[in-house]
Structure 1
Amino acid sequence: MIEVRNTTKSYRGSIVVDDVSISLPAGGVISLIGPNGAGKSTLLSIISRLLPASAGTVTVDGMDVATTPGDVLARRLSILRQDNQMTARLTVRDLVAFGRYPYGKGRLTAEDEIHIRRVIGYLELDAHAGRFLDELSGGQRQRAFIAMVLCQDTDYVLLDEPLNNLDVKHAVAMMKLFRRTADEFGKTVILVLHDINFASCYSDRIVAMRDGRIVYEGPPETIITPEVIHDVYGVRADIHEIDGKRMALYFR
């Protein structure tokens, strides 16, 4: 379980995450939604220790992320950042292999090689494994970075806007993959998403943020409602149920 307690993040007096407290249970898919500037990505970065909190605490299965040794935390929690930039010229396989660094510090074992091959196949990147990242499309490159995170084989997988650069076909395939990762391998997958219909279709739980605070949390059926969407985003929505999932159409 991830426990966030009275956590705040501010920059030069501007509060981005405002005294947030929440318990995120282990297992399943959890989506963070909300308008731009709501604090979603900042909260995810604090949980993963990419950013220090200005106040408050975050624990992962009882381990304080601020004080736990980096290699220990990296074997329990992994994150895909929103801005993935690589200055080195790497192949897809090289990038994915970085996911094993917390285990062997760069000395790949036979077990590491098994993980690398399995994840490359899982993301359907076999045909691109030997290609350099700068030779790939944006969507292919995004899948390669996701493969690196999954290769880290952590209990908690944090993904900040993982559908960036993906067309609809690949976005659907990616959300199905995250769902399978949680169901088949017992992972906890926490996503920052802008598309609330993807959140509705594939999540066990949705956390809605606005102005640095958590304003709603619960299963999709309690969050994907006209009232909640209007309160969070300031737009009217017409809700339809398709195959048991709530879908929203937006109107000003």
Structure 2
Amino acid sequence: MIITSGVHKAYSDEVTIGPVDLEIPGPGITALVGPNGAGKSTLLTIMGRLLGADAGTTTVGGYDVTRTPGKTLAKVVSVLRQENHFVTRLTVRQLVGLGRFPHCGGRLTAEDHRVVDDALHFFGLEPLQGRFLDELSGGQRQRAYVAMVLAQETPHVLLDEPLNNLDMRHAVSMMQHLRRAADELERTIVLVVHDINFAARYADTIVVMKDGRVVETGPPAQILRDELLSGVFETPVRCIEGPDGPLAVYF
């Protein structure tokens, strides 16, 4: 479980996040949704200790992220930021192997190689493992990044816009892989996503944010309501019942 209590971050008098009081259960998928500037990515990076809060506490799996040693926290939570700056001459296998650093310090053991093999297989990357990152499509590269995070084998996984720059086919494939990771590997996955329908289809819990605060939290059936989404996104939204659950239609 991830718990934030009174978390607050101020960038200026006009731009603030919080206070945020939130409990994210697990295993499963929790999607952070909301308009641009709602504070989704900021909250996610605070959870992963990539950004410090001005006030409040955040615990991940019972560990206070501000007080837990980095080596310990790296075995509890893994984070993938929206923008990644890895050397493009890394191969896919080398990239995924970086996820094992908290466990082996860069000297991969037979067990580490087995975990890398499993991550490559899970995301269907075995045929690509010898390719360099700059030889991959955007969708292939994104799968490799997420495979690296899963190879870290943390019970909690934070992903900032994992669908960024993916076309519909690759976005669906990514969400299917994440759903499998939550179900089969029992991971608690928190992700920032812009498309409310991807959240509705694949997430167990949706956290709606606006202006740095949590507006409402609940399962998709509770969140997909005309008045709630129309108010949050400031555009007309109609929610309908699709073949696999509720969907939002923009007009």
The TM-score range, normalised by the shorter chain, is: over 0.9
| TM-score, normalization by structure 1 | 0.96
| TM-score, normalization by structure 2 | 0.97
Structure 2: distance between partners of 1:207 and 1:125: 31
> 1:16 touches 1:42 (CA, 8 Å); kept in 2?
no
Secondary structure of the residue aligned to 2:58 is strand
Equivalent residue letter for 1:94: Q
Counterpart position of 1:102: 102
Counterpart position of 1:8: 8
Deviation of 1:89 after TM superposition, in Å, equals: 2.3
Q: What is the CA RMSD across the aligned residues, in angstroms? A: 1.1
Equivalent residue letter for 2:48: S
Structure 2: distance between partners of 1:166 and 1:15: 29
Equivalent residue letter for 1:59: T
Structure 2: distance between partners of 1:211 and 1:12: 13
Q: Tell me, yes or no, if structure 1 residue 165 matches structure 2 residue 165.
A: yes
**4+ residue runs of structure 1 moved beyond 2 angstroms?**
12-16
Structure 2: distance between partners of 1:61 and 1:126: 32
Secondary structure of the residue aligned to 2:209 is strand
Secondary structure of the residue aligned to 1:216 is strand
Residue deviations 1:162-211 (CA, integer Å, cap 9, x gap): 01122211211111111111111111111100000000011111000000
Deviation of 1:16 after TM superposition, in Å, equals: 3.2
Structure 2: distance between partners of 1:134 and 1:111: 28
Question: Among the aligned pairs, what percent are the same residue?
Answer: 52
Equivalent residue letter for 2:237: A
Secondary structure of the residue aligned to 1:107 is coil
> 1:16 touches 1:38 (CA, 8 Å); kept in 2?
no
Structure 2: where are the runs of 5+ without partners?
none
> 1:181 touches 1:187 (CA, 8 Å); kept in 2?
yes
Deviation of 1:88 after TM superposition, in Å, equals: 5.7
Counterpart position of 1:77: 77
Structure 2: distance between partners of 1:232 and 1:14: 19
Structure 1: distance between partners of 2:104 and 2:176: 30
Counterpart position of 1:186: 186
Equivalent residue letter for 1:93: R
> 1:8 touches 1:15 (CA, 8 Å); kept in 2?
no
Structure 1: distance between partners of 2:51 and 2:202: 28
> 1:18 touches 1:212 (CA, 8 Å); kept in 2?
yes
Deviation of 1:58 after TM superposition, in Å, equals: 0.3
The change in CA–CA distance for 1:21 and 1:237 in structure 2 (over 3 A counts) is same
Structure 1: distance between partners of 2:180 and 2:5: 30
Structure 2: distance between partners of 1:14 and 1:106: 43
Q: Tell me, yes or no, if structure 1 residue 116 matches structure 2 residue 116.
A: yes
Structure 2: distance between partners of 1:77 and 1:244: 31
Equivalent residue letter for 1:99: G
Deviation of 1:14 after TM superposition, in Å, equals: 4.2
Structure 1: distance between partners of 2:41 and 2:139: 20
Structure 1: distance between partners of 2:209 and 2:8: 14
